[in-house]
A and B are shown apart, each in its own frame.
Chain A
């Protein structure tokens, strides 16, 4: 394990930096992860050897770019166990994927009086698009609330998802608390009423094996940058029959069949939903990142991250000055820990930790309604990746202990 970790960390140049004369401890992985040199090198090679506009050219570089782009699509398909590569649409991030679903799918599905169900845990990106649809269509947005543990109870699901529900859009793993939601239960329940289920996989796809078929979901979204790939590339997965019904979201080059002055017909899936020049290098980066993850093995990644999380949870539970949010049971959560230090605003905590080289996030984590629900203005969040270590957690905890003193409290 020791050696394995040393090897792994060598793959990530950013991890061996000094920040403020301290070794960087990067615990902001839920925001974005660092990139292994395999991904960085793949991009460099792409620029040096390939780089052309795919799908449109008869020349060598264009053919290569097309191959790379479509290989990336197939790699994503396998990774999430989708049936067909037509079900994989490349977008710029999870947020765009959700907006496509809101405006090109839900706007045609939801009618006045219908209900859309989300949870109070949602990231703004999985909330604002539904507020828009609800407003424009005269539908109602309903929230699944949490029990004390941060979990969603069966009774909550059963009472909120009803025959009025047309759509459930829910996060798999909360970026703010780390909680993992009971997706299979929700899909089974939603499908009873014929409602469609969208999974926000931004936090789960990077950290657990995903089988869209087993989960029973209709759509899923995620972002490359949270899973070792570059920013600027995201994915929208949808069941082929459903994507087929959808009208295009962006209109322009690449997504057309015939174009007349006053009329145009559109290409088949997946191209119908990919307008303009696509981010080929982003797709290549995502493919390379997935290959990297597969090489380590998702099960190993999950085991390492679960181990780090329970180690950190235990240490933090032992600190009197720390208030923890989210499930106490590390089985119900991913590698995200939200907490506060008594009497200290999370921004001060984050700045002080930063001075020790420890990068954590402070704020509402794009989940203002959740913060309001928990009656806290903000939290401090430490989120781990498989490349983090227990030694880093030890140092982080030691640094945390100094925070109150910096702010003039006895301890």
Chain B
């Protein structure tokens, strides 16, 4: 597998859909599917002020890369970019962008969905939701 078909980034900086799209584009690509996660203003009816994202960085990067490699093996895609942000994010800001390109669109849809589903299961990144009256680590306790 050519490693330059995978672009992984873990950063405190603002993510760019343009950069992800440009990375996966190519003359033999017929479709590009992107998932852009955004911070919602509420969880279970409670107003969210902001989110804090914390990562175990070296392992988060290696797990994101594994997802990229798995996706390239599993689906007929050309390239994939997986970018994740850490630090404090406000409502409407973007913690994650995943972009996949393929000759035929179905593979790009499946790859992008698989990648975000897997990221949410395996990549060691944690978010704390901060409300007006407290805070909670998401999904940590029942």
Query: Does B bind A?
Result: no
